[in-house]
Structure 1
């Protein structure tokens, strides 16, 4: 998976699983904490699901809260990892 649409689809599906509901009207400007009400445990679950789906490996040392502000910032982060071969280290 290397295209933006694929990354966004993976994020949307993972969010649906984490929130246990269908996600409608998700945009790149959707805020993960403010709009979707994610908390630290749901973010961890989201990261694990996206790792499994995309093949990336998130390095907790590299993870900044700015990457998790919006769907766009998270998708940018995931794409950056994919561009580096999926390794977050």
Structure 2
């Protein structure tokens, strides 16, 4: 389910063309042309769309190398506290 949600996020919010194969080995920067500003947008979308808290001190650039590393990163995040702000 996370993969499908992530695929939708890339195509709907970050304008990655539909039909681009998003496998675990797909590189965000080289294959999808995701830049640093788009990474920041991606972090916000992960919090909003997935309902997960992304602590600044736990962000590791290696998490944003491939779709697989990003999915691993998402899997380690905690849900947002109810009533919290994004």
| TM beyond 0.5 | yes
Paired residue for 1:55? 51
Larger-Rg structure: 2
Query: Which structure: greater helix fraction?
Result: 1
Higher relative contact order (CA 8 A, sep 6+): 1
Q: TM-score scaled to structure 1, two decimals?
A: 0.79
> What is the RMSD computed on CA atoms of the aligned residues?
1.5
Q: Return 5+ residue gaps in structure 1 as ranges.
A: 1-5
Shift of 1:45: 1.0
TM-score (norm 2): 0.81
Count of matched residue positions in the alignment of Structure 1 and Structure 2: 79
1:1-89 paired onto structure 2 within 5 Å = 6-16=1-11, 17-19=13-15, 21-81=17-77, 85-86=78-79
How far apart in 2 are the matches of 1:37 and 1:72?
16
Structure 1 window deviating more from structure 2 (56-65 vs 19-28): it is 19-28
> Are the counterparts in 2 of residues 32 and 68 from structure 1 also a CA contact under 8 Å?
yes
Q: Which moved more, 1:55-64 or 1:21-30?
A: 21-30
For structure 2, the 5+ residue unaligned runs are 81-86
Distance 2:38 2:25 in 1: 19
